A and B are shown apart, each in its own frame.
Chain A
């Protein structure tokens, strides 16, 4: 086990280095100059611009810039944002809780919706419930999140006036927070639960037809025990892997949702940073998401091996 972890750890580090190199090169290759606005400002003399460039290291060759960035990143110094001049760490960590709250709760809700629906769908295959569930799943993953977000805003915020339109992160108190989070959370939960339902259903269908379920029934166990204790547990194994792999995708989906509902989270910070060519912030956030992806890949494999005693981590 330890050997496996070490090996995966090393591979992951190489992957992360490669990813960071790719993202950094893209940013470096891009035309345009973050200090372009200063070029036209008469108050900023050319010598001062040069000084700023030297200070920020903009004129260094690419690999030098990359090395400096990498060395600093690993030590926890994520640089200073070009736009706000403040440390990127504060910017990112300040916005993180909002995103985590919304992403986390939508993720939990989609689990709570998808697993029961998927299981029951599989048990009553081709029944009316199954037809509805399948239609629901199809609708869920054909609806782009920005459209479902807009529809929900129109219905609940404009017509019914139940929930506020714009997100206010300074709002305190449990109920107002729920009120304003319910729309983005449900949009993300709908999209997530749609594909998850299909997976759970497919996995469950595979398990029910296997011999050990028939044996359990033949032993005389109650149907409920057979399903809950034997079938579902085994069906969940591949589902857990899928879930672990989908978590980073949810962050991506959150990027769009945050734009629509104007949630001040990591996603909108990324979009602002991209728009402002704020390289340190872009690198920090993108690389942060990449770390999550790689980490959850490893976690998925570990959990899979833990749950399924047939898998030997060699």
Chain B
């Protein structure tokens, strides 16, 4: 372990050499002003250090950040259009003009991947966020209050768990997409926003349950601990107890669950798009590109391989990050 920046500072009142002059100057504040300081070892520092040791997780982080940067900056700097139809140049291979080739309408694949990636990632992150929020609230209320509230909420959770996921996903999206698009077209002049909202809602409604169970279990066990009893004794309000005292201790599994949920949501969104139930064809999410390309697999497989690899690599890196986080935040692992 490197000791850079971690100069040992003698605690205030004690001096290294017994020299009274040094005694005065060896308080922590003075030492800090002299530039000698001990690096704080907080929970997050420890976790990050542990995370760094997990090579695949670091690789995953690197790849994921690369993808995020690519889709954020890419469309701004890459000159090709996403919907420039060029029948002279359909299903072309890799050329300098079109580094990733063109699809069946002659549209540049790289441009579409970069632009569509924004939406795929946005849907994934938003859906995971909503699902985690929902699950945390339900789990916290259920675990904290116990009794009848817990019973009712758990029955509802069990009901949602028993719902057949894929059929309902398809059903709801198919049935309500058109009317929602129309609604959003009228109110916000942006029908695709309606599709975005629908997909995010549908994915989150069907994936909040594991988080709820997780949070509930943690709340149930933490509720009985002494530090909560102490907080209650000094008069902490109910809200303070829940959000200031218990919740921060539950954060570790929630963070891991959130990370993995992003990957799952990205896959679910691409499944929906792949079955034709996602965004319309002028919005090139990665799943949609696969849908458009699946009929040309025999002769031009690269049209499907590229968006597929994009999804695969993104989700793979997210899963490795989640694994690394799980190891890093596990209190039983030695630091």
Nearest Cβ on chain A to B111's Cβ, whole angstroms: 21
Asked if A293 is an interface residue, CB under 8 A from chain B, the answer is: yes
Contacts of B297 in A (CB 8 A): 150, 153-154, 158
Chain A: interface residue total (CB-CB under 8 A): 47
- A-B contact count, CB below 8 Å? 115
Q: A286 in the interface, Cβ–Cβ < 8 Å?
A: yes
Question: What is the CB-to-nearest-CB distance from B295 to chain A, in angstroms, rounded to a whole number?
Answer: 11
* A245 nearest CB across to chain B (Å): 10
A129-188, CB < 8 A from B: 138-139, 141-144, 146-147, 150-151, 153-154, 158, 165
Is A141 a contact of B159 with CB atoms below 8 Å? no
Q: Is there contact, CB below 8 Å, between A31 and B179?
A: yes
Inter-subunit contact B159/A19 (CB<8 Å):
yes
Interface pick from B87-95, B140-148, B234-242, B310-318: B310-318
User: Interface readout for A245-284 with B: 1 if CB under 8 Å, 0 if not?
Assistant: 0001101110110011000000000110011010000100
B305 at the interface (CB under 8 A from A): yes
A46 within 8 A of B: no
Does A282 lie within 8 Å of B271, measured CB to CB? no
| Complex Cα–Cα for A293 and B297 (A) | 35
- Are B162 and A293 neighbours in the complex by a CB distance under 8 Å? yes
Residues A143 and B312 in contact, CB atoms below 8 Å apart: yes
Complex Cα gap A32–B290 (Å): 28
Judge whether A256 and B311 touch: CB under 8 Å. Answer: no
Contacts of A151 in B (CB 8 A): 305, 308
Bound together, the chains give a CA A163 to CA B100 distance in angstroms of 29
**Which residues of B from 53 to 106 have beta carbons under 8 Å from A?**
none
A142/B274 in contact, CB under 8 A: no
Instruction: Give chain B residues whose Cβ lies under 8 Å from the Cβ of A15.
Output: 158-159, 162
* CB closest chain-A residue, reference B270: A144
Residues of chain A with a CB closer than 8 A to B163's CB = 19, 22-23, 290
Which B residues between 163 and 178 are near A, CB-CB below 8 angstroms? 163-168, 170-172, 174-176, 178
How far does the alpha carbon of A10 sit from the alpha carbon of B31 in the complex, in Å?
71
B275 contacts partner chain A, Cβ-Cβ < 8 Å: yes
Tell me the complex Cα distance, A18–B320, Å: 38
Interface residue? B136 (CB, 8 A): no
In the bound complex, how far is the Cα of B270 from the Cα of A165, in angstroms?
A: 23
> Is A241 located at the chain interface by the 8 A CB criterion?
no
Choose one: A150, A271, A275, A286; the contact of B164 (CB below 8 Å): A286
Q: Is the CB of A271 within 8 A of B316?
A: no
> Which residue of B165, B168, B174, B274 contacts A146 across the interface (Cβ within 8 Å)?
B274
Known: A23-B168, A142-B263, A290-B163. A147 touches B290 (CB 8 A): yes
Assess whether B267 is interfacial by the CB under 8 Å rule.
yes
Instruction: Find out whether the CB atom of B305 lies under 8 angstroms from the CB atom of A154.
Output: yes
Tally of contact residues, B, Cβ under 8 A: 38
In the complex, chain B residues whose CB is within 8 Å of the CB of A253? 166
Q: How far is the CA of A285 from the CA of B164 in the complex (A)?
A: 10
Complex Cα spacing A22 to B316, Å: 34
Smallest CB separation, A173 vs chain B (Å): 26
* Nearest neighbor of A155 in chain B, beta-carbon distance: B301
| Distance A150 CA – B179 CA, assembled complex (angstroms) | 32
- Complex Cα distance, B170 from A277, in Å, reads 12
| CA A29 to CA B308, docked complex, whole Å | 35
B301's nearest neighbour on chain A, judged by CB, is A154
Q: Which residues of A contact B166 (CB under 8 A)?
A: 252-253, 255-256
List of A residues within 8 angstroms of B267 by Cβ: 144
Q: Which residues of A contact B165 (CB under 8 A)?
A: 249, 252
Q: Is A99 close to B, CB under 8 A?
A: no
Chain A to chain B: the 4 pairs with minimum beta-carbon distance, closest first: A30-B175, A252-B166, A142-B316, A147-B308
Q: State the A residues within 8 Å of B (CB).
A: 15, 18-19, 22-23, 26-27, 29-32, 138-139, 141-144, 146-147, 150-151, 153-154, 158, 165, 248-249, 251-253, 255-256, 259-260, 270-271, 274-275, 277, 282, 285-286, 289-290, 293-294, 297
Beyond contacts A22-B159, A142-B316, A146-B290: 14 other A-B pairs, Cβ-Cβ < 8 A, are A27-B175, A32-B175, A138-B316, A144-B311, A144-B315, A150-B290, A154-B305, A158-B298, A248-B164, A252-B167, A270-B170, A274-B174, A290-B162, A293-B162
User: Which B positions have Cβ atoms within 8 angstroms of A?
Assistant: 158-159, 162-168, 170-172, 174-176, 178-179, 263, 267, 270-271, 274-275, 290, 294, 297-298, 301, 304-305, 308, 311-312, 315-316, 319-320, 323
